[in-house]
Chain A
Amino acid sequence: MALYRAHVLICHGTGCASGGAPKVLEAFKEELAKKGLEKEILVIATGCHGMCEFGPIVVVYPEGTFYSQVKPSDVAEIVEEHLYKGRIVTRLLYKEPLSAQKVCHYKDIPFYGKQHRIVLSNCGYINPDNIDEYISRDGYQALGKCLVEMTPAAVIDEMKKSGLRGRGGGGFPTGMKWGFCAASPGDKKYVICNADEGDPGAFMDRSILEGDPHAVIEGMMIGGYAMGADEGYIYCRAEYPLAIKRLQTAIKNATEYGLLGEDILGTGFNFTLHIKEGAGAFVCGEETALMASIEGQRGMPRARPPFPAVKGLWGKPTNINNVETWANVPRIIVQGAECFAAMGTEKSKGTKVFALTGKVKNTGLVEVPMGITIREIVFEIGGGIIGDKKFKAVQIGGPSGGCLVDEHLDLAVDYESLTAAGAIMGSGGLVVLDEGNCMVDTAKFFLEFTQRESCGKCVPCREGTKKMLDILTRITEGKGVPEDIDRLLYLGNQIKDASLCALGGTAPNPVLTTLKYFRHEYEAHIFDKKCPAGVCQSLLRYSINTEKCIGCTKCARNCPVSCISGKVKEPHVIDQDKCIKCGACMDNCPVGAVVKG
């Protein structure tokens, strides 16, 4: 391999790519060629760094200089100053929101300081389309070790010892699950990777597939060897075209290297891998529905038992794991189960990747050891709330999860502690809410999602979620009645108990937890007909402060229903009966005379 004196890593994850990263890469190639540096400096397209909000991101090694929001027009300066003269372009460094200081190096950015990147260790460092780069970072070493040195039983033992639990939401111990499938009689078995990532607000699986596809493939092969499966499926959302493309390339390259196919590494182990594109149904993330979908049927869950380990895809023993679970496998084998089990809490080992979004300063993907507190995630990694507003809650676990409040800030995050607080680990979506978010609206948002995605097979979920949504809608429109709160509680608990699959079984969680911690907000909507956060449109009232109004007529000109009257230079008034509460007047008033409340 040729030696280069510097590497320029340009993030090509979906976030940065849509922000123009491919054009930045082109510009680098052009500039370097112009200066005759193309033999000295290597330009590489990588996966996501998790800081997509500040993309396109460019990292220059060996120093590890971290440039954010790089445009093609900035490239000439980076090449001239940094790569040619060795002077950092301060203007483009990432500005840390807490201290407002510019940070030079990757390792000094507080967003990364508390993180512990194992699953994401390759994301942003290697070119995911280049199998050699994966191999150079211990890639496929774990597979070799398993095939040559370990028996299938020893591999399963190692997984059990590591304490790894499923990252797809349920948290079932992975080693034990593999043990069931291995023990299940049958000469044909399958392994499946669940890449349906349905939680609206989580994107860790996407980033892993886009940034380090070989890790998932290697994990699946190790699983296949341990359980006696020679065929695997990756079921990936169709909304993730880039992830699918990277997987296709990875499978092709691994096959060319003899790492996939027949008689792998000369050990007699065979393994083939297929990609299945999902067709847009959240419920297909549920394992039995997912298998029905691969078989070409409507993706509806079925009752378990029989579990997939006994009767799975096409009736054969099958093991399904989540993307992040599979990606952990090679690392556990290479570093040893003890090393993995040393991290985390008593019952939850290793790390978890969270998608931190909402009203925090730093949003993005963060990988943290189990047992970290919510406070550390929100205030240290996330940098606190935007505009230094007041923290209100975090919604964790997406539409199946629940909210946590002030009193939980110092809770050590693991599977058990979250369940005890009424939320779940789920896929790892973590949405931070501030005082400007209405909790009734938030609960309604999640329930709208689950209601729409209910497959309709069982009544409690199909009809129950609809009824709950009707009640919530009524409350946000100011038509709630006093009995509504009890009805929501009753319905919610019934649906949880009686639904066939976990979609219905968890759908009421957002409503039940917000009722637990924010009952007063529901009451304000129902009894006072007010939305304390000023979010629910029907309960809002726009009016013009006659003292402040300068009569500029801007509001009247921008009102889409022409319901503002008044002469030039005289105070204006809003006709409340006609107002559709769009807020255009407020946005356009130059002196802030329009008030909402």
Chain B
Amino acid sequence: MVVETKQDVRSMVQEITAPWKGKHGGVIPVLQETQKKVGYLSREAMEVVSEELGVPLAELYGVATFYAQFHLKPRGRHIIRVCRGTACHVRGSGKIMDKIMSMLKVKENGTTDDLRFTLEPVACLGCCGLAPVVMIDDDTHGRLTDDEAALQKFLDQYA
């Protein structure tokens, strides 16, 4: 996931765009793949996508800023998604969000200085039966409380 040089980015993005050249509908899958590989949508990466797909940079920027999934700034190694869907709201996910914010000293959608965590709210993760739910990377954790010691233990699993 860590990309060192400009050349790396270029060849990596070219690899991603190759199957989409001359086809329609490639913009979003290419940006998704690029973000997955590079970590975020850096200026260099976007420039290469633009060149390779023949889509103006402004248009790519328009697409990237429309969708919540895309990020133009570097993000943490681990993404914490606190569910703010209905079931979780009714069962106190707001308090959990507040607690994690104060523990990590970040705001919603913020990243910790050491680039360890990025904290995001998300609408329903689809396991409302376990509300309140927090997802870290691809792991779903349910039935959480705002107990600080328990949350700390839980965050400690992610270095």
Interface residues, chain A, CB within 8 Å of chain B?
Answer: 13-15, 17-19, 51-53, 55, 197-203, 206-207, 238-241, 276-282, 293-300, 314, 355, 357-359, 363-364, 395, 398, 429, 431, 433, 437, 445-446, 449, 455
Contact = CB atoms under 8 A, between A and B. Distances in A.
Contact of A203 (B62, B67, B124): B124
A197 B29 contact: no
Interface string B133-144: 000001111100
9 contacts: A18-B141, A201-B86, A276-B25, A281-B66, A358-B87, A363-B131, A429-B86, A431-B87, A445-B86
B33 to A, nearest CB: 10
Contact of B67 (A280, A357, A431): A280
B74 interface: no
Nearest to A449: B123
Interface string B54-67: 00000000110011
A19 B86 contact: no
- Size band of the interface chain B makes with A: 35 or more
A398 B86 CA distance: 8
A203 B126 contact: yes
A295 B129 contact: no
Interface string B98-135: 00000000000000000000000011111111110000
Contact of A206 (B123, B126, B130): B126
B158 to A, nearest CB: 15
B128 A357 contact: yes
B157 interface: no
B32 interface: yes
Contacts of B130: 15, 18-19, 52-53, 55
A282 B86 CA distance: 14
Interface of B: 24-29, 31-32, 62-63, 66-70, 84-87, 89-90, 122-131, 138-142
B129 to A, nearest CB: 3
A456 to B, nearest CB: 9
A355 to B, nearest CB: 6
A18 B124 contact: no
Contact of A297 (B63, B84, B90): B63
Contacts of B131: 357, 363
Contacts of B27: 296-297
Nearest to B129: A52
Given A200-B86, A298-B62, A395-B86, A363 B129 contact: yes
A357 B127 CA distance: 10
Contacts of B142: 15, 18-19
Given A276-B28, A296-B25, A296-B26, 16 more contacts: A15-B129, A19-B142, A51-B129, A198-B123, A201-B86, A239-B122, A239-B125, A241-B138, A281-B68, A294-B25, A297-B63, A298-B63, A298-B66, A358-B90, A359-B90, A364-B129
A277 B25 CA distance: 12
The listed residue with most B CB atoms (<10 A of its CB), out of A13, A206, A207, A279, is A279
A39 to B, nearest CB: 34
A280 B128 CA distance: 19
A314 B87 contact: no
B129 A279 contact: no
B25 A433 contact: no
B67 to A, nearest CB: 4
Contacts of A395: 86
Contacts of A445: 86, 89
Nearest to B125: A239
Nearest to B62: A298
Given A18-B142, A299-B67, A314-B24, A201 B124 contact: yes
Contacts of B127: 13-15, 18, 52, 203
A55 B28 contact: no
Contacts of A241: 138
Rank and list the top 10 A-B pairs by shortest CB-CB distance, nearest first.
A52-B129, A296-B27, A201-B86, A280-B68, A200-B85, A279-B67, A18-B140, A357-B87, A280-B69, A203-B126
